[in-house]
Amino acid sequence: MIKVGGSDTMVNLAQAWAEEYGKKYPNVQIQVSGGGSGVGIAKLTEGTIDLANSSREVKPDEITKLEAARFRDSLSPWMRWRSMSTRTTR
């Protein structure tokens, strides 16, 4: 079972993704829950969920905790995107 949690703002979207994924991979169960972005990130850090949804930027202290929990590779795409999206052009 894949456990997804986090943003209440994104819970309906995450549920829709889970349903579509289930159509393609019917043997895979996905459990989606809300609770808030911070709750999802904390649960990911604790290892009680597999994916966290966040409707806000991940805070620096959350990144530190995720990295300490060995999620550096999971953060890499987000960090690259954030780096590119915050650059200023002249």
The pTM of the full predicted model, rounded to 2 decimals, is: 0.75
Walk me through the domains of the chain, giving residue ranges and CATH numbers. Answer: 2-85 (3.40.190.10)
In this prediction, residue 72 has a pLDDT band, given cuts at 50, 70 and 90, of low
pLDDT tens digits, one per residue of 32-70: 999 999 999 999 998 899 899 999 999 999 988 888 887
Give SS3 for 6: strand
